Amino acid sequence: MRFAILSLVAFVALGKPAAAQQGGYAVIVNEANGVSTLSAEEVSKIFFKKTHRWTNGLDVVPVDLPESAPAREAFSAAVHGKSVGAVRAFWQQQIFSGRAVPPVEKPSDEQVVAFVRATPGAIGYVSAGAPISAGVRRVPIVR
């Protein structure tokens, strides 16, 4: 048991704190997704896994950037109206009450784009200036 406890402590101690930088972001979906615009509230519900299906019947699959990504900080503030830490606290509540786990996390803009391109129901966000390749398109967020 002591080993397990030490491992837990080491695991957390090695974790990186969230970056404090701000940056822009762009929401992207798979090209096959018919959605033209989304509201910030709709996107927030998707990333909190409160919306499960697109109107075309596909399962919604949100994908996040790491907590240290400036685009994530900007996305959390603009879409959820919460800090990355507050969003993390929400997911801790979900995880440890056995309900749900956070969206899939990809380490870079390129990998988010690749995941969204490969997954018809996926929705993600990347840094504002990140290149968007074929098979993926930006979705404007309306206020």
Partner 1 sequence: MRNVIRIGLVLFALATPAAAQETKLQVHGYLTQAYGAAHGGTFLGIPEGGTADYRTAALQLRYTMTPNDQFVWQFSHRRLGTSPITVGEPELKVDWLFYSRQMGNLDLRVGRLPIPAGIYNEVRDVGVLLPLFRAPYDFYLEGAFTSETVDGLSARYNLFADAPWNVELSVYGGRYDMTNRNTAYDTTGTPVAYLPEVVNVDNALGTQLWLNTPVDGVRAGFGASRLDAQSGDFKGKWTELHGSFDARTRWATVQAEYRRFAIPDVNYTAGYVYAGLHATQKLTLHGQMEFSDVQLTTAPGAPVFDFDRTKTFGASYAFRADLVVKGEYHSTNGHWSDAPLSPIGVAPAKVSYFLVSFSTSF
Write out the residues near partner 1 by the rule CB under 8 A.
1, 4-5, 8-9, 11-12, 15, 17-18, 50, 52-53, 58-61, 81, 83, 85-86, 88-89, 92-93, 95-99, 101, 104, 119-122
136 has which bridge partners? 30
- Residue 98: CB minimum distance to partner 1, A: 5
Q: DSSP 3-state assignment of 118?
A: helix
- Residue 88: CB minimum distance to partner 1, A: 4
88 or 137, CB closer to partner 1?
A: 88
- DSSP readout, 26-90? EEEEETT-----EEHHHHHHHHTT---B-TTSPBPEEEE--TT-HHHHHHIIIIISS-HHHHHHH
How far apart, in whole angstroms, are the C-alpha atoms of residue 122 and residue 139? Answer: 12
108 or 119, CB closer to partner 1?
A: 119
Residues in the chain: 143
104 or 132, CB closer to partner 1?
A: 104
Q: How many CB atoms sit inside 10 A of residue 90's CB?
A: 14
- Residue 73: CB minimum distance to partner 1, A: 14
86 or 128, CB closer to partner 1?
A: 86
- Residue 130: CB minimum distance to partner 1, A: 22
